[in-house]
Amino acid sequence: MKRPKTINRGEFLRLIGTAAAVAVLPAAASAADAGKPGMQAAAAKPKVLFKGFNLLNKFNPDNQTTFGEEDFEIMAEWGFNFARIPLSYWCWTSRDNWYEIDEKRIAEIDRAVELGRQYGIHINLNFHRAPGYCINPPHEDANLFESDEALKACEHHWELFAERYRSYSSKVLSFNLINEAPSIEDAKYENVIRHLIETIRRISPTRTIIVDGLDVGNRPLMEIADLRNIIQSGRGYQPMLISHYEADWVYGNGPMPYPREELSWPLHDNGKTYDREWLRETLNHNWLPWMKLGRTVHIGEFGCHNRTPHEVALAWLEDNLSIFAENGWGWSLWNLYGSFGVMDSGRSDVKYEDYRGHKLDRRMLELLLRYK
């Protein structure tokens, strides 16, 4: 089982503070907003909603694996249509030479793209680690948002992917440029995003491109509203006291300071109530400006770590899923297998079902299927 996604302690604490301070705004499709310009378009759901899972085979360069056909068979059998593939560029290049390419490793990514085409699973290739930036340690030596050299290298790798997959239509394949942009000035992020989009679209002019929101995927980059075929990607991890309970890789070297016996959903903490309405107001506050333009939001990652009690996790997940459905958003659970997933999640309070040699959390799967 791979180690879950990591985030440093400072970023975690900043996220908690942002969530706690968020303003209360009307829901995205409230009656008061219905007649405002753009809101009717925002309320209209896309023809195809992407819903599925993150596949982590190329997430960790030190423990990378090939993509298995069974994963695509399972997702198709269940009726899902989307697989986000978080990639570390270290999987196919040298950490010391950004321009050295391992063709064998790239061919393993080819297999995922082709399996997606065969099984009707849209593939979204994401640079989780790009030259000059990754939210996870170890940090890159260069800064993608300030270094021309790092930006040039990042353009080079996206150019490689654009050329390689130019024959695949956007119905089959999309590109997700950078995972979870940090809290930086909009102009710095816009500069990088526009360069990468221009690089890709010189080769694939109509390629659908997904742009992770700023502040670790929590608010849209409004400065790219003039560009077409752009989806912005959000996150479904708030409050992290629920989603990352006792996730020791988040809070320094130990568990998050919250007593398990008090953990519940809705959550009451320090005189504040976190519930479905709080989630709804938080998400709509963050994404309403983009939605008002009639543009698409996709929740690229969400889920709940296996130390959160199962009943609490399911209640929290259902509230998130119902809000995503209300807003017409697609989504992808952080993993198919592993501590956030529906299989082999390692929860101590679940009666698992044997499924193709895996331990299936049937109740979590059935919940996802209700919102598929």
Q: Return the pLDDT at 154.
A: 98
**Which letter does DSSP use for residue 135 in this model?**
S
d(C-alpha 372, C-alpha 367), whole Å: 9
Q: pLDDT below 50 — which residues of the chain?
A: 1-46
Task: Assess whether the previous peptide bond of 37 is cis (omega < 30° from 0).
Answer: no
* 207-243 burial code (b ≥16 CB/10 A, e <16): bbbbbbbbbbbbbbbeebeeeeebbbbbbbbbbbbbb
Q: Do you know the residue count of the chain?
A: 372
First to last CA, the chain: 26
Domain boundaries, the chain: 9-19+52-370
- pLDDT at 43 (0 to 100): 37
- Pairing state between β 296-302 and 122-129: unpaired
Q: Which CATH superfamily is domain 9-19+52-370 in?
A: Glycosidases (3.20.20.80)
Check if the beta carbon of residue 312 is closer than 8 Å to that of residue 264: yes
CA dist., res. 357 & res. 219, Å (int) = 40
Closest of 175, 194, 311 to residue 242, by C-alpha: 311
At residue 57, the pLDDT reads 98
